Amino acid sequence: MIDANDTTSTRPYLIRALYEWCTDNGLTPYVSVAVNEHVQVPFEFVKDGEIVLNISFDATTSLKLGNDYLEFKARFGGVAREIIVPIEQISGIYARENGQGMAFPISASKSAKQAPQRSVSDKVAGPLASTIEARTTTLVSVESSKRADDAIELEDPPRSPTGGQRPTLTRIK
């Protein structure tokens, strides 16, 4: 009999499935990432210990959705950057246009796997350490509705020409 602790996480498989669903339906896949010392992202775009990344085919180069890491190259402010995110740091994946997707819990007690050699330097990650450790809230759902009291507004993604409601993430405390 297979023990549940011996199986691999379902998270990378669900992320790949939702990425494929978004692209098959002409939607733009975004991932929300809880930033810590194991995440390699442009820190100037991190807000409150989180960053939202567009992982669409048009926005990335060499996208790899592996079982352990999300890796790709993208331009931020015209500067090419290599992005490396441990899968367990992805707190959600959703379609920009309609907010449909899935959120994942981020456990503060769970230690992330060591990032590859090209990970973030200590002097960049250091100032974020207290902000990241203070984050103990778990994301549990992604919704398209607006609730002023419960919603966390994401960065303003470009609006579609047809308008529509902006997606929000809901935190349950």
The model's pTM is 0.62
> What are φ and ψ of residue 124, in 5° steps?
-85, -45
- DSSP letters along 61-116, please? EEEEE-SSEEEEEEEETTEEEEEEEEGGGEEEEEETTT--EEE----SSSPPPPPP
pLDDT band, residue 146 (cuts 50/70/90): very low
Q: What is the DSSP letter of 138?
A: E
Per-domain residue ranges for the chain? 6-156+164-172
CATH H superfamily, domain 6-156+164-172: SspB-like (2.30.30.220)
pLDDT band, residue 148 (cuts 50/70/90): very low
The answer, yes or no, to whether residue 144 has pLDDT greater than 50, is no
Residue 38 token pair: 């194991």
Q: Which residue has the higher pLDDT, 154 or 86?
A: 86
> For residue range 95-115, what is the model confidence (pLDDT) as tens digits?
999 999 999 998 764 434 444
What is the pLDDT averaged over residues 60-88? 95
Report the distance separating Cα 82 and Cα 72, nearest Å: 6
pLDDT of 46 reads 94
Query: Do you know the residue count of the chain?
Result: 173
The answer, yes or no, to whether residue 88 has pLDDT greater than 60, is yes
pLDDT of 155 reads 46
